[in-house]
Homo-oligomer: A and B are copies of this chain.
Amino acid sequence: MPEDVSLTTVAARAGVSISTVSRIVNGETRRASAATIARVRDAIEAVGYRPNPVGRALRRRQSQVVGMLVANLDNPAMATIASSTEAALRSAGYVMMLCDTHDRADLQDDYLSALRAQLVRGFVMVASVPSKGLADLSAEGAPMVFVTRRAPAGRGPFVGIDDRAAGAAVADRFIDEGRRAPAVAFPQQGSSATRDRVLGFLARLAERGRPAASVIQGEGSGLSHLQVGYEAAEKIFSAGDKPDAILCVSDQIAYGVRRRALERGLDVPGDCSLVSIDGSPLNKWVAPWLVSVEIPYIAYGQEVLASLNAIWTGSASMDRLLPYRF
């Protein structure tokens, strides 16, 4: 299958000019007679012509590529988002270019500029980090949608869940279950997502008669949420009050908390129940002790696509909040 078939090949075979073929390929049916169109279509079929995306991008000054920057592909949730977004984009005729920023601002900027040079059509920022390049690009009005974490600069369409509400839902559950000593484990330098979950949780508890001061709060630092959970748990378990229910703002934090709990000889959920926000399908298999608010990461892809489409067509860019499920 020699792939050196271009508009010229088709034009020669159909006995028309390349302009005509180009127009027909692009659906400009009003610029050619029905007979010509049929002849060209046949020729296209016969030689197996496929438009060359590179030539097209050069001329149009815009490619079919959408760039996706993800903070950490090793995080299963982000991998799922990447996978579903790739599928959605592909089915709409776009291709996705994926970059792993490792949560580093400098890498993020490198990737942004490389992608821009590729004339990408849009950017999908999954858990972006604040950076100069991002701010610039955003200010220029580049098509950009933020997933999981909101835009550092504030404005920018967002795909995710209502993090505050999710936190509040866990609070409600704890109260309804009659928990005496609720706690929360979260990362020291959290993103908008983890922060909002904690805030929603504490706010709802306060509304229902449990002021924030009475809630055991454990924060952890470290690169991975596993480590964060492990550290946060230490603080929580060595607090004066013994917690009987802990909100972990992500699955991985819950894994870390649980490990520390085991090391301390605590039974989960016997002595202390763990609730997390994420809901990886893996939990059912490796963490049956964990109750989780399930986030439909698998559905993120189509929302991202819808959001990009809205931007491209000039509609108002609005946030897309997906339903979570307890």
Q: Which residue of B lies closest to A81 (CB)?
A: B73
A206 an interface residue at 8 Å Cβ cutoff? no
Other-chain residue from B63, B74, B99 in contact with A80 (beta carbon distance below 8 A): B74
A90 an interface residue at 8 Å Cβ cutoff? yes
- Is the pair B86, A79 in contact by a Cβ cutoff of 8 Å? no
Main secondary structure of the interface of A (DSSP, over half): helix
A residues 77-106 with Cβ under 8 Å of B? 79-80, 82-83, 86-87, 90, 95-100, 102
Q: Give every chain B residue within 8 A of A63 (Cβ-Cβ).
A: 54
A256 an interface residue at 8 Å Cβ cutoff? yes
Rounded to whole angstroms, the CA-CA distance of A162 and B120 in the bound complex is 40
For A50, A57, A255, A256, which residue has the most chain B Cβ atoms within 10 angstroms? A57
- Is the pair A117, B80 in contact by a Cβ cutoff of 8 Å? no
Other-chain residue from B90, B97, B98, B286 in contact with A255 (beta carbon distance below 8 A): B286
Rounded to whole angstroms, the CA-CA distance of A116 and B52 in the bound complex is 10
- Is the pair B74, A100 in contact by a Cβ cutoff of 8 Å? no
- Is the pair A140, B74 in contact by a Cβ cutoff of 8 Å? no
Q: How far is the CB of A309 from chain B (nearest CB, A)?
A: 20
Rounded to whole angstroms, the CA-CA distance of A259 and B284 in the bound complex is 9
Rounded to whole angstroms, the CA-CA distance of A285 and B224 in the bound complex is 12
Q: Give every chain B residue within 8 A of A118 (Cβ-Cβ).
A: 53-54, 95
What is the 8 Å Cβ interface bit string for chain A, positions 239-283, against chain B (1 contact, 0 not)?
000000000000010011011001000000000000000000010
Query: Nearest 3 A-B pairs (CB), nearest first?
Result: A73-B83, A79-B79, A98-B98
Can you show 8 pairs from A to B with CB atoms below 8 A apart? Answer: A1-B136, A72-B83, A74-B83, A86-B98, A86-B99, A95-B97, A96-B98, A262-B288
